Amino acid sequence: MRITVMGMGNMGRAIATRLCRTGHDVVVWNRTPGRANEVLDVGATEAGTVAAAADGAEAVVLSLADDDAVLDLLFGSPSLSTVLGDAVLVDSSTVAPATSRREAAEVPGGAMVASPVLGAPRAVADGSASYLVAGPRTSIERLAPMWDALSASWRVLGDDPGTATTWKVLSNTLLMAGVSVVAEVVATAQRAGIADELLTDLLTTSPMVAPGLHNRIANIVGDTHDGWFSGRLGAKDLRLTEELAAGCGLTLPVTASVRRRYEAMTDAGIDGDDIAAVVELARRS
């Protein structure tokens, strides 16, 4: 298939790389040039304009930072929505459910599928990530070769794209709350004299630690917080959860507390490359 990937952050590059390596014809675009070199090395082509990127594509995949970036690309200037042609819009960004529904309502022909990713960029690149897929059944079936190339684990959640993004932001809430608690446990254990090697083994074998946290334990225990998901973006996703809950008449005090931790991390200049850096807040307390 001819697939365009727009947004060359960590996740966008991983998606484009996976598609190239599984035999698809991939075109990439990023608002700021120069982010796609590693994807070009595996066979992608870089487009210089939005129109050129979308031209002839069967699917246009968005992997952007937030709701504003998605809406600006779709409906701002230049407007992706006016040059999509027959392509299916696939939004893999983590955005509010209301944004997904607006995309579906305003994209010509309604050919829009939400497909947020559950997994790290390296899991995307090796095909082990999971995908939540929701939108028109005909559009989903049309892109079956793309889903199959990306992962054996993709789940259709129905016709409403907002269902997929609802579960994505809630899943991220589970992740960030878990990382925040593990970070406090790690800081306390280290201060209490438990050696790092033993601590890492205890955490990775404990039934109390969710499997989805295991790939961050080394980054939390150590002093280097390499990764792919910044505290700033983590706080953004937690705000999306709070807004979702508020629309349902709920308040979420625990989620609000976790969000403030990631905001404090960023404010303190210890954002690092990943939410694992939240451990430094506990170490400094």
Q: Which domains, from first to last, does the chain contain?
A: 2-159 (3.40.50.720), 165-284 (1.10.1040.10)
> What does each of the 285 residues of the chain score in pLDDT, given as a tens digit?
999 999 999 999 999 999 999 999 999 999 998 899 999 999 999 999 999 999 999 999 999 999 999 999 999 988 999 999 999 999 999 999 999 999 999 998 889 999 999 999 999 999 999 999 999 999 999 999 999 999 999 999 999 999 999 999 999 999 999 999 999 999 999 999 999 999 999 999 999 999 999 999 999 999 989 888 999 999 999 999 999 999 999 999 999 999 999 999 989 988 767 999 999 999 998
Q: What is the pLDDT of residue 33?
A: 86
Q: What is the pLDDT of residue 12?
A: 97
Q: What is the pLDDT of residue 273?
A: 77
Q: What is the pLDDT of residue 272?
A: 66
Strand partners, 134: 114
The pTM assigned to this predicted structure is 0.95
